[in-house]
Structure 1
Amino acid sequence: MSAVANGLTPTGTIATTDDRRRVVFATIVGTTVEWYDFFIYAMAAGLVFGDLFFKPAGPSLATLLSFGTVGLSFLFRPLGAFLAGHFGDKYGRRLVLVVTLILMGAATTLVGVLPTYQAIGVAAPVLLILLRILQGVSAGGEWGGAVLMAVEHAPRPRRGFFGAAPQIGVPIGLLLASGMNALMTIIAPGEAFLAWGWRVPFLFSFLLVLVGYYVRRRVEESPVFMEIAERREKTRMPIVQLFRKHTLLVIIAAFVFAGNNAVGYMTTGGYIQNYSTNPDGPLGLDRGPVLWAVTGSAITWLISTALGGWVSDKIGRRSTYIIGWVVQLVGVFALFPLVNTGNIGLLFLGLALLTLGLGFTYGPQAALYSELFPASIRFSGVSISYALGAILGGAFAPTIATALVQATGTTVSVTWYLAGVTLLGFIATLLLKDRSGIPLGPDFEAEQTKSPVYGLSRA
């Protein structure tokens, strides 16, 4: 059956507006659920896991171990990306999205019923780590499928805006996660939060997964993959082909994301929450107000991410990124001077300034990545670049920041660390050509294979 007969236009997009809206809604909802699960773990690591699972190690080491479990999951993202990329390029995007959603939800719900160290001893942190690894595998496979479903369905002039749909699911997930935790500090204040209040956001994930599963099951397969399947042109070993021909491109794309991810994990990874609320730290602020400030910054991140995707359709992905890196660098240098005042309003302002740059270096990412790789190996290329960027960037950013402050006694060292990774992302962006609007379908594989890296005829 032809693509047109299947309801596809010759450019490979779903023909009706209703179908496009359904795809956008499904990618937002699914990504929101996945990242809500991911973020509530990171926040709990900053707020309570040190006391509940690693307390015998002592206060300082317990904090490092707790944040270390956040970073550990990133090491397993490439495994999820490899598996999702392989099966996504061979069997379709939708199947992978449903599987990763269920895997993430199951792991998160089980964390919510996990006994603590006091109850079962060393088995508690071991089980916690195993569940976090499952979250990492799921997150590694989720993002690539979600962005390709959005971008490959999108009209060519609006790829950036459509591609921002799964991207804004991330700040929405942060918004829900920080909001739920803030709400629980009201319902279960003080010791009650430590005893049982932290578990409720994890258990709430079960309901969110049911909603996400229902929505994702109603979405049609990506039109680009359907065209590939009709022509029986699916690549037998997409990952092998990716690294044989595009290794340098994968590395450069990974550094683009690393520059955003390391800075973003100051909030999403729980570092600011831990730094500002630690009773033994320099600020000792109450959990509730800090969590509400993070919730507010998630809204500014959401808006700037959607705006970044929209702007990239007007001026190109590369130009949008360059603006974003400059704004992000300003936010990096403003963050800790504002946080260290101990004023909640200024803490929120510091986070809000940071998220403006983060949005412009995150909103266009789905379209940028999708336009870098050929159709036959696109899922593998997008997923693996993202997973490697997460390791290079956010995996151990909270742990590194904690160690830097413990070693130097000042957050200035953290500022320079974040400025350095921002500059790395900026340099990686300069190495890439702008391929906004390049045809994404399998008929244009030859054009897609031409290297987007300056100075090379082939990546």
Structure 2
Amino acid sequence: MADVKGNPSEVRKAAIASLFGSALEWYDFFLYGTAAALVFNTLFFPTFNPLVGTIAAFGTNAVGFLARPLGGIIFGHFGDRIGRKSMLVTTLVIMGVATCLIGLLPTYATVGVWAPVLLVTLRVVQGIAVGGEWGGGVLIVSEHAPSHRRGFYSAWSQTGVGLGFVLSAAAYALAQEVTTKESFLAWGWRIPFVVGILLTAAGLLIRLRIMETPAFQEKESEPKKSAPPLLDVIRTHPKSILIAFGARVAETGASYLFLTFSLSYASEIGVGKGVVLAALVVGMLFESFAMPMFGALSDRIGRRPVYIGGAIAVIVWAYPFFALFDSRNPVLIFVAIFVAVVIGHGAMIGTQPAFFTELFASRVAYSGLALGHELASMIVGGFSPIVATALLAWSGASWPIALFLVGMGLVTVFAVAAAPETNPNVLGNGKARQEAEAEEKPKSSDSSPIHS
């Protein structure tokens, strides 16, 4: 993709729209993960013992991840064919409606086995919606931004992911605070889900005001390709898909251990979930604003060094993370979560939008981003809490889970190390930006996996 520089006001508008839209959509998605750790095992799987019920609840959470590649394929196809903006509006509406319906579901005590069946069905719908959201949310910013600021601007789309988690965790913390334990299980847990429909309406108004990206408009003037974008990207960018997948192993796998499994682990070792929820809210809030800083750093020194640095931080912090949890000291638990999410996860997710965008040509960028991103979400993100819970049940200790984190970190280090440096500002060991951009212009119309 050529470096199409949009109007600066449009770049800022796109960044704000992506931030708020993704925050609301991921608020909906994270609500489920939080509820799976806190209440779904009791309300929808009461016939199991507590630990098995937790595994079953995380299993329904994983179903959403299984559906995400399907959403990526569907919305990636139409996002590459008819535009990024329309797909972002569609995914937001689907997610909002599904989330509200989860909040209205009857429980196992009311309708028996139909309760988990309906829960799983709506989780699939959520997964399809969020599978189509991420690639479009990233592209609506990165394709508006100039190459020398792409890391900074596109990271704001990820800030929305972080804020979405903060909103969901804060909503549950508030619901628990204003209700008794009995009333929270009876109806209090539903409030954050139902309120989501109002937030969806606000996000919809914001997204309807943004323009289609300059890169997509430029692509529309080119001769049409007959091959579907999915087949086109698999044929022309197989290495880029594998790199994106591998790069996400530590990022997504670690994040769902930090964000969801840590809640159930805290209960197992006798630490109040409120302590962990508070630490997660603070950590994710700081991470949300650290992401653009890491994105800006990748504009200066390259995507690979920043991303690999985050993966190495996850590796180094794996054992200390659980050791600090095992201390049962609230201050040390705050430290464990803060370092894990702000430094380790933050460096990877803040760099990811620009890095992944630059791996694919614009004509297949939506499909390429969605495929690499969502396959990792399905295989690693959805199942990492289940694997961690099973390891805990098997060993009764945290060391196998820490070893699992180390393994995921190593996969990501090797994957990113195998990737080319995609930032044109640092190609050729520090060439001037103008020189790099001049060299890339002849490549803008070919099928090279690197574009700016």
* Bin of the TM-score, shorter chain as denominator length: over 0.9
**Residue 325 in 1 paired to residue 306 in 2?**
no
Alignment correspondent of 1:12: 4
1:398 to 385, 393, 398: 385
Listed as ranges, the matches of 1:31-430 within 5 Å are 31-233=22-224, 236-268=227-259, 270-277=260-267, 281-283=268-270, 285-355=271-341, 356-430=343-417
- Contact 1:228–1:376 (CA under 8 A) maintained in structure 2: yes
Q: How far apart, in 2, do the equivalents of 1:244 and 1:140 lie?
A: 21
Q: How far apart, in 2, do the equivalents of 1:189 and 1:234 lie?
A: 59
- Tell me the CA shift for residue 208 of structure 1: 0.8
Cα deviations across residues 55-91 of structure 1 (Å, max 9, x unaligned)? 1122222111100111111111111010111100100
Q: How far apart, in 2, do the equivalents of 1:204 and 1:80 lie?
A: 24
The 1:346–1:189 alpha-carbon spacing in structure 2 relative to 1, beyond 3 Å, is farther
- Tell me the CA shift for residue 140 of structure 1: 0.6
Q: How far apart, in 1, do the equivalents of 2:383 and 2:42 lie?
A: 20
Q: How far apart, in 2, do the equivalents of 1:235 and 1:32 lie?
A: 35
Q: How far apart, in 1, do the equivalents of 2:48 and 2:404 lie?
A: 27
Secondary structure class of the residue paired with 1:373: coil
AA aligned to 2:303 is: R
- Tell me the CA shift for residue 112 of structure 1: 0.4
- Tell me the CA shift for residue 330 of structure 1: 2.3
- Contact 1:312–1:320 (CA under 8 A) maintained in structure 2: yes
The 1:169–1:137 alpha-carbon spacing in structure 2 relative to 1, beyond 3 Å, is same
Q: How far apart, in 2, do the equivalents of 1:319 and 1:344 lie?
A: 33
Q: How far apart, in 2, do the equivalents of 1:431 and 1:231 lie?
A: 32
Cα deviations across residues 232-259 of structure 1 (Å, max 9, x unaligned)? 4355411111112222321221110122
In structure 2, stretches of 5+ residues that fail to align are 425-435
Secondary structure class of the residue paired with 1:134: helix
In structure 1, stretches of 5+ residues that fail to align are 1-9, 453-459
The 1:439–1:170 alpha-carbon spacing in structure 2 relative to 1, beyond 3 Å, is farther
- Contact 1:320–1:360 (CA under 8 A) maintained in structure 2: yes
Secondary structure class of the residue paired with 2:217: helix
Q: How far apart, in 2, do the equivalents of 1:85 and 1:403 lie?
A: 34
1:449 to 444, 447, 450: 447
Moved over 6 A (4+): none
Q: How far apart, in 1, do the equivalents of 2:108 and 2:322 lie?
A: 33
AA aligned to 1:434 is: E
Secondary structure class of the residue paired with 2:257: coil
Secondary structure class of the residue paired with 2:420: coil
AA aligned to 1:344 is: P
- Tell me the CA shift for residue 427 of structure 1: 0.4
Q: How far apart, in 1, do the equivalents of 2:416 and 2:394 lie?
A: 32
Provide the aligned C-alpha RMSD in A.
1.8
TM-score by length of 1: 0.91
Q: How far apart, in 2, do the equivalents of 1:303 and 1:31 lie?
A: 15
Higher alpha-carbon deviation: 33-42 or 286-295: 286-295
